[in-house]
Amino acid sequence: MLKIFLDRLLTTLPALIGVIVVSFLLTRVLPGDTAAYFAGPAATPQAIEEVRKQLGLDKPLPEQFKRYVIDLSHGDLGKSLTTGQPVLADLKNRLPASAELTLFGLILSLIIAVPLGIAAAVKQGTMLDHACRAIATAGVSLPVFFSGLLLVYVFYYLLQWSPAPLGRLDVFASAPNTITGFYLIDSLIARDWENFRASLSSLLLPGITLAIFSLAPIARITRASMLAVLASEFVRTARASGLNGRTVIFTYAFRNAMLPVVTTLGMVFSFLLGANVLVEKVFAWPGIGSYAVEALIASDFAPVQGFVLAMAILYIALNLIIDLTYRVIDPRMRSAT
């Protein structure tokens, strides 16, 4: 298993190098002048040029890229001009917020979508099946920012069940002692139930927004995979042998139907990483998505490059985990290596 992990890790290096090169080049061709932005609207051309020299933006692109790669090899992602802090420190402070939100949305969508897809496949052609397809279509069709604003309007403004969408905690709660950076886990470890309740209540609406967005592909893949497996020979043989229907579905069919679902999780996670940026802005969530947007508006290169690199590493890490999980589920993959 370790050898497989190392082999897969080596295959991701070209992708990571490509991300570094593309993110560097794209930040240089984006509209806006970083030097002019930070020099101020009343700055003279001489002052703007002086700021450009201080930032090293007057040097040729190959020289800038060489400096960036050298700094990156030493673990230096640069300094954010908008916050005045090293980009690595900003990402370290904000990444747990984004990771907690994304994982919560993904887990919530799995809890709903997988049973819904199984039930729709087992009850094919019934109202439940039609409802599953309608929910999946709605999840794909609704823009994520619209879903978020709609949930805020209904549950915060109309019903007043949810706290104000002002971040990870309401104004009356304080952050728990940092252990993992995940407020739910840290408050559980500290047995601070009031803080846990406050964290969960603030996390629910943005988490549900992401879950609605990711529910559709998971439910569709689960339904399609279960339909294919239920029509296979070994399932018909199991039923003909007199096995209980629940045993056939969950012991034989579901395990084989899981393989495409697990594979799809990598794609769904990439969708969530993109949607997370909009959700963080709607709910004022202090994650790396909103951090990157603010830096992009200010033409601040270093945070944008750090954000893209962090997202690429997260995506590669999840795909490695999915690949290893696939081998645990399917014995044929283990015997093939």
Please give the C-alpha separations between residue 20 and each of 61, 287, 295, in angstroms, as whole numbers: 14, 21, 17
Give domain status of residue 38, yes or no. no
pTM, two decimals, is 0.83
Give domain status of residue 5, yes or no. no
Give domain status of residue 244, yes or no. yes
Give domain status of residue 168, yes or no. yes
Parent domain of 260? 87-335
Give domain status of residue 154, yes or no. yes
Please list the pLDDT of the chain residue by residue as tens digits (337 residues).
667 667 777 777 888 888 888 888 888 877 777 777 777 777 788 888 888 888 787 888 888 888 888 988 888 888 888 888 899 999 999 989 998 998 899 899 999 988 888 888 888 888 888 888 888 777 777 888 888 899 999 999 898 888 888 888 877 778 888 888 899 999 999 888 888 999 999 999 999 999 888 888 888 888 888 888 888 888 888 888 777 778 888 777 887 888 888 878 777 887 787 788 889 988 989 988 888 888 888 878 888 888 888 888 888 888 788 777 777 766 665 555 5
Give domain status of residue 241, yes or no. yes
Distance CA 291, CA 285 (A): 10
Q: Please tell me the predicted confidence (pLDDT) of residue 337.
A: 52
Q: How many domains does the chain have?
A: 1
Residue 241 phi, psi dihedral angles, 5° rounding: -80, -5
Q: Please tell me the predicted confidence (pLDDT) of residue 332.
A: 61
Q: Please tell me the predicted confidence (pLDDT) of residue 138.
A: 78
The number of CA neighbours under 13 Å toward the Cβ of 81 is 19
Q: How far is CA 2 from the centre of its chain?
A: 26
> Strand pairing partners for 79?
86
Give domain status of residue 238, yes or no. yes
CATH number of the domain that 95 lies in?
Answer: 1.10.3720.10
Distance CA 53, CA 271 (A): 39
Q: Are the CB atoms for 96 and 297 separated by under 8 Å?
A: no
Give domain status of residue 164, yes or no. yes
